[in-house]
Amino acid sequence: MTLRLYDSKSQTLTDFVPIVPGRVGIYVCGPTVQSSPHIGHLRSALVYDQWRRWMTYRGLQVTLVRNVTDIDDKILDRASATSEEWWALAYRFELEFSALYARLGILAPTYEPRATASVDAMLDLIGQLIERGHAYPADDDSGDVYFATGTWAPYGELTRQNPDDMAASADAEQRGKREPRDFALWKGAKAEEPTSAAWASPWGDGRPGWHIECSAMAARYLGDSFDIHGGGLDLRFPHHENELAQSTAAGRGFANHWVHNGLVNVSGQKMSKSLGNSIFAAEFLDQAAPLAVRYYLGAAHYRSTIDYHEGSLVEAEAALDRIETFLRRAGRRLTGTRFAGTGIPTLPAAFETAMDDDLAIPQALGVLHDTTRAGNAALDAEDLAVAAQLYAEVAAMTEVLGINPLSPEWQGSNSSHASAALTILVDALLVQRDAARAGRDFAAADRIRHDLTAAGIQIEDTPTGPNWSFES
């Protein structure tokens, strides 16, 4: 099968052919660590975790680079307001991001460079742009260096904008620019900023602009040309547009494909500080088990907007409960039979087709839930050979998606502890019921069954003993 993705630059669904056969280089814009992450940050990181897992399943060796922007105007402003060292503030929030990503089962990137560790590479790139006539030191004595957008004819190609229609760049003061749309590559040090936030350069002490950071780090870790550049839809302009312009103006191929994930709204509105509706990631993860949060944020198509509303996580928990109930039910029923372990852990063709089609996870989840229902039907019919195969397929699909509720990585969550405790209690009651029936105390046996039924637990008596599951 051919893996296809939607290229944001060409705005077409295209076959993915890696530059180096068998290898994939992906650069994803990571967080600016100025404050705690919100659920949009989680969603973006999860999308590229899903891409990475699927490409790995398809036999590709994936190098995923996700940067950390640890020097920025907002970081300096926040640190100044709190009287905290800017680098300490940045590191504190970086650790928070990493911990929350890990709680969602998001695999650590192959490389996670900090901007402050790649300043030399940024200076080299700025120097190349000046030599080629696409950048200039400011006409004043600020020490700023700007990209000259008017010298690069393709400027605007990523977002299909006419430069004449663009608003002035707001990433630096206008006084040192030759054109309002020119954007900062290097920002000269200011008297009110800490000296620790400045590096020496040929144009004076200062620090890098935001856009140059990603261009330099992408090239440093993936080469001048690489396969995929990813990030949130809100980064297309100006950040990604400027990255593309400065990298290609320097003679680099940069990204073959651009992939952008959709955003997260809250009750139909975009999250924003002014509306006061931002949902911080830590608070979100307190509302449900991390696995349910992963399922919820990863269930929509990655390019669509997620609209969070009250009850969304309950729906995710219910979907996972159906999967977990089947896996546990099938595992118990097959144990000790000749069908235990006979299922081949393959992915259904319809699931693979959906995933290969621009990571169509809603359709893939449809296959997963259809297979779960078919597996329960096979258990009801005592068709254990079919049940064993469907059990293996469900386990394989959930592993690829990173949502297998029985995987060790999720056993530390509260829901897993609760599930394990419930299993112990129900199994103990079933032992008591069997003992009552053996002693012909049918009233006690019926009472246990009645209590379990009232709790939403269905009992199935089989030739090898009772099985139980949640009523659907």
pLDDT in tens, 423-443: 767 777 777 887 778 788 788
Q: Which residues make Cβ contacts (< 8 Å) with residue 391, sequence separation at least 6? A: 326, 327, 330, 331, 334, 343, 375
Give the HSE-up count for residue 459: Cα atoms under 13 Å, Cβ half-sphere: 21
Amino acid occupying residue 316 = A
Query: What is the C-alpha separation between 244 and 425, in angstroms, rounded?
Result: 59
32: phi then psi, degrees, rounded to nearest 5: -90, 115
Quick check: helix, strand or coil at residue 163?
helix
Query: What is the C-alpha separation between 262 and 434, in angstroms, rounded?
Result: 53
Query: What is the C-alpha separation between 409 and 39, in angstroms, rounded?
Result: 21
Peptide bond into 238 cis (omega under 30): yes
Q: For residue 264, what are its two tokens?
A: 């997260």
Q: What is the DSSP string of 26-44?
A: EEE---BTTS--BHHHHHH
Query: What is the C-alpha separation between 379 and 344, in angstroms, rounded?
Result: 17
Q: For residue 132, what are its two tokens?
A: 């080629």
Residue 200: pLDDT band (50, 70, 90) is very high
Strand locations in 54-153 (E): 61-66, 135-137, 145-147
36: phi then psi, degrees, rounded to nearest 5: -65, 150
14: phi then psi, degrees, rounded to nearest 5: -130, 150
Q: What is the pLDDT of residue 73?
A: 93
Query: What is the C-alpha separation between 391 and 402, in angstroms, rounded?
Result: 16
Q: Which domains does the chain have, with CATH numbers?
A: 4-261 (3.40.50.620), 412-472 (no CATH)
Task: Please determine, for residue 261, whether its predicted confidence score (pLDDT) is greater than 70.
Answer: yes
Please tell me the least confidently modeled range out of 125-134, 164-173, 314-323. Answer: 164-173
pTM, two decimals, is 0.87
**Region 191-203 average pLDDT:** 94
Give the HSE-up count for residue 177: Cα atoms under 13 Å, Cβ half-sphere: 21
* Max Cα-Cα span within the chain: 98
Q: For residue 472, what are its two tokens?
A: 């659907």
Q: What is the pLDDT of residue 414?
A: 46
Please tell me the least confidently modeled range out of 1-15, 139-153, 165-179. Answer: 165-179
pLDDT digits (tens, 9 = 90+) for 442-471: 887 788 887 788 677 878 776 656 777 665
Q: What is the pLDDT of residue 416?
A: 46
Percent of the chain at pLDDT exceeding 90: 76
Q: What is the pLDDT of residue 420?
A: 54
